[in-house]
Amino acid sequence: MLAFWLRDKSIGMSIINEIRSCIEPMYPQISGAANDDALFSSGMLDSFAAIQIISALEQKFSIQVNMAAVDSSQLDSLSKIETLVQEHQS
């Protein structure tokens, strides 16, 4: 059971690292952000960034995200973005 949990955690970190590598070049101000730090509600990023981030994630992960169905709370941290990506990969 522990091996399964560790494998899932390492996979999750891999996705977050890929998300970081996708977003940080566009928004270097998030480079010091922890995975659970607020990105939008803190004012670090704005609504224009949300559109660019979704577009970049669609390309990076070969997913389709209905922008009208996503609200800013789903993008407010790297962990929440990871959840969004995982939901669209299944």
- Rounded to an integer, what distance in angstroms lies between the CA atom of residue 74 and that of residue 66? 12
The residue ranges of every structural domain in the chain are 2-89
State residue 13's pLDDT score.
53
Which one-letter DSSP state was computed for residue 70? -
Question: Residues 53-84: pLDDT tens digits?
Answer: 999 999 999 999 998 999 889 999 999 999 99
Question: Residues 1-60: pLDDT tens digits?
Answer: 444 444 444 454 589 999 999 999 999 999 999 999 999 999 999 989 999 999 999 999
User: Which residue type occupies 6?
Assistant: L
| pTM recorded for the entire structure | 0.82
Q: Which CATH class is domain 2-89?
A: mainly alpha
- Rounded to an integer, what distance in angstroms lies between the CA atom of residue 58 and that of residue 76? 17
User: What are the angstrom distances between the C-alpha of 63 and each of 3, 7, 36, 50, 88?
Assistant: 29, 23, 23, 16, 6
